[in-house]
């Protein structure tokens, strides 16, 4: 009898706690059907057709509502608009994973599927941080994650059709649109950089500059009486932003395309892994001296960049004065569109250019073959100043990943489609997941 009383008391306490937790959570979460204690809404759902039950509830509560599976609340997104806004428009915020006990017990979390976007962005971003701020961040550092989020948001927004339209018709500035959200992201980035600059100003030693910011601050001080000087605070902020934008977005996107292409072509990946095993082995990390001894890997990286065609129409250009060009008169200020696609996909230089083929950069003997047509970094005075750094990062990232992991796709390789989801100013790779399986 005493045991029965204890059981009743324990169940009553558990019931009370459950009611209090549900009551507190419901004040903050979207509306939904009233849950029963302990079991939540399970009894109100058709367990043989939960999807139908969810659709019925959506008619009553709208596209965003809450149901309880036991004591745990679950927010339901119903319909294309709600799902798209969450998983696509705000994908970073909705990318967390939920532990499924029955599966987790089986796989124990090993080699789980993941979207590589964030980590591939963090790596080059941290490299730029070491150049600009003289310090690298732990990937879980909140400051670093905030900076990464700002840039991922700007990438997402910059490639929307509306922004492309805005660039053509700037008068759209006065209308509602995603450009206002993009400007807010830019302002958040600038605020972050100004805080970093202020920290550097407070600890600056003019005789011992530590990093990129210090060198520009010293230069600003030397030219503070020169009214024509371009070394101003505005120049410093814009330069930092430009280095971050160009130094992270291009490398991370190229790598995201690259992993997708390697999964689609496992026979090519196998040859790269064989070369890594033979030249580097597993007992040391790859270094840049290895590249000259790895012609096939070098060719694969070049072919990834050629095939991806990351910036199809180059950065915006204009002529600086009235000129004659190939018999034509082009007045000063005329916008110029140098099509990099037409060079990277030239059929005479790269036979069958639509095919991903490292042989485009190999001679008959298997040696690496340079090509003047390889212009992913553009050419001339406006060529990418970070080309050397980017090429190092791509080589070291790719070889390090393949040295330690096998890339496992979630679908059959022949079904992988590497076609960009957007190919305006910037080629945007499709979203995908893969498993990094330790070797």
Considering the domain architecture, whether residues 139 and 69 belong to the same structural domain is answered as no
Which candidate, 80, 63, 64, 252, places its Cα nearest to that of 156? Answer: 252
Residue 331 within a domain: no
Considering the domain architecture, whether residues 160 and 251 belong to the same structural domain is answered as yes
Residue 376 within a domain: no
Considering the domain architecture, whether residues 42 and 153 belong to the same structural domain is answered as no
Task: Identify the band that residue 39 occupies on the pLDDT scale cut at 50, 70 and 90.
Answer: confident
What's the whole-number average pLDDT of the chain?
A: 82
Residue 12 within a domain: yes
Residue 393 pLDDT = 94
Number of H helices, E strands in the chain: 14, 10
Task: Identify the band that residue 25 occupies on the pLDDT scale cut at 50, 70 and 90.
Answer: very low
Considering the domain architecture, whether residues 80 and 128 belong to the same structural domain is answered as no
Give the span between the Cα atoms of 322 and 332, in whole angstroms: 4
- Check whether 22 has a pLDDT greater than 80: no
Residue 139 pLDDT = 85
Poorest-pLDDT segment among 191-205, 261-275, 416-430 = 416-430
Give the span between the Cα atoms of 160 and 428, in whole angstroms: 11
Residue 244 pLDDT = 85
Task: Identify the band that residue 86 occupies on the pLDDT scale cut at 50, 70 and 90.
Answer: low
- Check whether 294 has a pLDDT greater than 90: yes
Mean pLDDT of 355-383: 91
Residue 100 pLDDT = 42
Give the span between the Cα atoms of 75 and 126, in whole angstroms: 34
Give the span between the Cα atoms of 85 and 82, in whole angstroms: 5
- Check whether 107 has a pLDDT greater than 50: no
- Percent pLDDT > 70 in the chain is 85
Segments of 165-260 assigned E as strands: none
Contact 177, 166 (CB under 8 A): yes
Predicted model pTM: 0.70
Residue 174 within a domain: yes
Considering the domain architecture, whether residues 243 and 284 belong to the same structural domain is answered as yes
Give the span between the Cα atoms of 262 and 432, in whole angstroms: 13
Quick: pLDDT tens for 246-266. Answer: 888 889 999 999 999 999 999
- Check whether 102 has a pLDDT greater than 60: no
Which candidate, 365, 363, 367, 356, places its Cα nearest to that of 295? Answer: 367
| C-alpha distances in Å from residue 258, one per residue of 269, 359, 413, 418 | 11, 16, 14, 9
Give the span between the Cα atoms of 18 and 38, in whole angstroms: 6
Q: How many domains does the chain have?
A: 2
Using the 3D structure, point to which of 50, 74, 89 is the last residue of a domain: 89
Considering the domain architecture, whether residues 63 and 128 belong to the same structural domain is answered as no
- Type and span of the H or E element at 419: none
Name the 3-class secondary structure at 328: strand
Mean pLDDT of 98-111: 46
Quick: pLDDT tens for 257-291. Answer: 999 999 999 999 999 999 999 999 988 999 999 99
CATH number for the domain that contains residue 301: 1.10.630.10
- Check whether 321 has a pLDDT greater than 90: no
Considering the domain architecture, whether residues 220 and 165 belong to the same structural domain is answered as yes
Task: Identify the band that residue 198 occupies on the pLDDT scale cut at 50, 70 and 90.
Answer: very high
Give the span between the Cα atoms of 231 and 197, in whole angstroms: 14
Mean pLDDT of 331-344: 83
Considering the domain architecture, whether residues 199 and 258 belong to the same structural domain is answered as yes
- Check whether 16 has a pLDDT greater than 80: no
Considering the domain architecture, whether residues 79 and 155 belong to the same structural domain is answered as no
Residue 195 within a domain: yes
Considering the domain architecture, whether residues 182 and 246 belong to the same structural domain is answered as yes
Give the span between the Cα atoms of 338 and 89, in whole angstroms: 31
Quick: pLDDT tens for 127-172. Answer: 988 888 888 888 888 888 888 888 888 877 777 777 767 766 778 7
- Check whether 104 has a pLDDT greater than 70: no
Considering the domain architecture, whether residues 177 and 291 belong to the same structural domain is answered as yes
Task: Identify the band that residue 121 occupies on the pLDDT scale cut at 50, 70 and 90.
Answer: confident
Higher pLDDT, 93 or 65: 65
Residue 290 within a domain: yes
- Check whether 105 has a pLDDT greater than 50: no
Residue 158 within a domain: yes
Residue 11 pLDDT = 52
Range of the domain at 50: 2-89
Higher pLDDT, 197 or 7: 197
Residue 395 within a domain: yes
Considering the domain architecture, whether residues 84 and 150 belong to the same structural domain is answered as no
Residue 189 pLDDT = 87
Which candidate, 310, 107, 99, 135, places its Cα nearest to that of 211? Answer: 135
């Amino acid at each position: 009898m005493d045991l029965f009383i204890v059981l009743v008391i324990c169940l009553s306490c558990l019931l009370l706690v459950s009611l209090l937790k549900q009551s507190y959570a419901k004040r903050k979460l979207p509306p939904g059907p009233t849950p029963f204690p302990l079991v939540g809404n399970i009894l109100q759902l058709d367990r043989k057709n939960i999807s139908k039950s969810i659709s019925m509830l959506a008619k009553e509560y709208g596209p965003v509502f809450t149901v309880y599976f036991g004591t745990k609340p679950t927010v339901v997104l119903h319909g294309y608009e709600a799902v798209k806004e969450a998983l696509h428009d705000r994908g970073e915020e909705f990318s967390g994973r939920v532990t499924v006990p029955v599966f987790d017990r089986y796989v124990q979390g090993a080699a789980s599927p993941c979207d590589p976007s964030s980590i591939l962005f963090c790596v080059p971003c941290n490299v730029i941080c070491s150049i600009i701020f003289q310090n690298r961040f732990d990937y879980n550092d909140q400051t670093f994650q905030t900076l990464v989020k700002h840039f991922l948001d700007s990438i997402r927004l910059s490639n929307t059709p509306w922004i492309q339209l805005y660039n053509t018709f700037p008068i759209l500035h006065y209308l509602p649109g995603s450009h206002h959200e993009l400007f807010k992201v830019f302002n958040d980035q600038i605020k972050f950089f100004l805080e970093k600059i202020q920290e550097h100003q407070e600890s600056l030693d003019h005789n011992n500059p530590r990093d990129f910011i210090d060198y520009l601050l010293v230069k600003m001080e030397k030219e503070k009486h020169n009214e024509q000087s371009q070394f101003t605070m505005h120049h410093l902020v814009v330069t930092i932003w430009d280095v971050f934008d160009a130094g992270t977005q291009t490398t991370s996107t190229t790598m995201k395309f690259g992993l997708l292409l390697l999964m689609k072509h496992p026979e090519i990946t196998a040859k790269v892994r064989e070369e890594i095993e033979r030249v580097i082995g597993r007992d040391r990390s790859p270094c840049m001296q290895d590249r000259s001894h790895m012609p096939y890997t070098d060719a694969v990286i070049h072919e990834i960049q050629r095939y991806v065609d990351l910036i199809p129409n180059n950065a915006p250009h204009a002529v600086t004065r009235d000129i004659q060009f190939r018999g034509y008169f082009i007045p000063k200020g005329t916008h110029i569109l140098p099509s990099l696609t037409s060079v990277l996909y030239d059929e005479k230089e790269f036979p069958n250019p639509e095919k991903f083929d490292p042989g485009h950069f190999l001679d008959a003997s298997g040696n690496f073959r340079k090509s003047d047509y390889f212009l992913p970094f553009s050419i001339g005075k406006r060529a990418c100043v970070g080309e050397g750094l980017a090429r190092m990062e791509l080589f070291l990232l790719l070889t390090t990943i393949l040295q330690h992991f096998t890339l496992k796709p979630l679908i059959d390789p022949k079904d992988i489609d590497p076609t960009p989801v957007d190919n305006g100013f910037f080629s945007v790779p499709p979203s995908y997941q893969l498993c990094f399986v330790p070797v």
